[in-house]
Amino acid sequence: MANYVLSTYQKFSKLPFGQWLFSRYAARRAPYFTTISPLVTDLSENHCECLIKKRKRVTNHIGTVHVIAICNGLELAMGFMAEASIPKHLRWIPKGMQVDYAAKAETNIRCVVSVKPEQWQVGDMKVVVNAYDDANQIVVSGVITLWISEKPQSSG
């Protein structure tokens, strides 16, 4: 049985404009994400992709997509992937993020996050994140470190 985030995405995806509706609904749960107007285009267990359209509000002084907007998109994709994938007995929290700027972000940006199921272990989990331009060139690459721990036993 799919978890809440994954089943919600699947339900929305069946509707007209479903990805857009899901993205608005989900980003409002963490309002800072609304600043990039993300579009979650693919969400499955251990994988997420989101799109950041190049708009004036996410560009910098040289007219490229600002790297902080891209980092925001990478963190959003990682968060949705984690929520859709983490085993029920575990929980996660971001611990750090390291990124490299590989190229100018002159187009729309696709943020991609994938992990292997066996990575879900207690301790530090390194999640590789990449942002691609419309030509499928990496513009930002990095790693988000998650702290994975056991959920506390409920007393019951």
pTM score, whole prediction = 0.93
pLDDT digits (tens, 9 = 90+) for 47-99: 999 999 999 999 999 999 999 999 999 999 999 999 999 999 999 999 999 99
Looking at residue 156, its pLDDT comes to 59
Statement: residue 2 has pLDDT above 80: no
Extended strands (E) in the chain: 39-44, 47-52, 90-101, 109-114, 123-132, 138-150
How many of the other CB atoms lie within 10 Å of CB of 5?
A: 21
CATH code 3.40.50.620 for 4-150: no
Averaged pLDDT score across all residues of the chain: 94
